[in-house]
């Protein structure tokens, strides 16, 4: 008599150990790829934020110094043909004179008259150098200042930097 209810040992449901290992390896590779992609996106975003912060600070510094120099009636320091780490100018508004821009501990500061200095850069960047050179040799180049500075992100893992090198003249 023949019994059809008997199940062969080769037809059991389930996975073999090798199939489980292959599926596990594929899963680990897939998850690892997603994690690496996510990390790369986050790192790129932080690097972009550092670059934007540096660029914004450099642009703000340039614009602020441009307004001050263009409103200047007299450049006190640096003298004509010389360079200095500090810019001092007088404007028509004598109550705020002198306007002094300097660098202290990586922060560019603006001091108006006898008031306390105000920071022109924020805590996300440091300025490693700042120099002013007076090119006011004639009436054509009156109140012309060359400004050079290096602005660097303070984020050690996402370095970003830019240089400022501009000539600004009073009108």
Structure token digits, residue 85? 């780490």
Task: Flag whether 130 is in a domain.
Answer: yes
pLDDT at residue 41 greater than cutoff 90: no
Task: Flag whether 12 is in a domain.
Answer: no
* pLDDT in the model for residue 25: 92
Task: Flag whether 106 is in a domain.
Answer: yes
Task: Flag whether 49 is in a domain.
Answer: yes
Task: Flag whether 25 is in a domain.
Answer: yes
Tally of structural domains, the chain: 1
Which domain does 126 fall in, by range? Answer: 17-169
Angle made by CA atoms 83, 85, 91, in degrees to the nearest 5: 85
Residue listed under structure tokens 């002013």: 132
pLDDT at residue 139 greater than cutoff 80: no
- Cα 16 from chain centroid (whole Å): 55
Task: Flag whether 125 is in a domain.
Answer: yes
Instruction: Dump pLDDT digits (tens) for 66-89.
Output: 999 888 888 999 999 999 999 999
Task: Flag whether 161 is in a domain.
Answer: yes
DSSP 79: P
Structure token digits, residue 30? 């897939």
Q: Model-level pTM greater than 0.85? A: no
The mean predicted confidence, pLDDT, of the chain is: 87
The helix/strand/coil state of 71 is coil
Cα dist from 36 to 28, 49, 114, 125, 128, whole Å: 12, 20, 55, 29, 35
Angle made by CA atoms 156, 160, 162, in degrees to the nearest 5: 140
Tell me the torsion sign for CA atoms 135, 137, 141, 144: positive
Rounded CA-CA distance 64/88 in Å is: 14
* pLDDT in the model for residue 16: 87
Task: Flag whether 32 is in a domain.
Answer: yes
Residues in the chain: 171
């Amino acid at each position: 008599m023949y019994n059809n209810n008997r199940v062969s040992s080769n037809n059991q449901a389930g996975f073999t150990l090798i199939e489980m290992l292959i599926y596990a390896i594929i899963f680990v590779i897939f998850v690892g790829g997603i994690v690496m992609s996510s990390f790369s996106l986050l790192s790129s975003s932080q690097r972009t934020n550092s670059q934007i912060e540096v660029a914004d600070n450099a642009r703000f510094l340039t614009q602020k110094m441009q307004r001050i120099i263009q409103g200047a009636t007299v450049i006190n320091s640096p003298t004509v043909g010389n360079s200095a780490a500090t810019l001092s100018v007088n404007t028509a508004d004598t109550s705020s004179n002198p306007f002094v821009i300097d660098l202290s501990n990586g922060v560019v500061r603006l001091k108006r008259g006898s008031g306390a200095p105000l920071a022109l850069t924020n805590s996300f960047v440091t300025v490693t150098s700042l120099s002013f050179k007076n090119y006011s040799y004639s009436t054509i180049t009156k109140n012309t200042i060359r400004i050079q500075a290096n602005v660097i992100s303070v984020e050690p893992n996402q370095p970003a930097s830019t240089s400022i090198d501009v000539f600004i003249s009073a009108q």
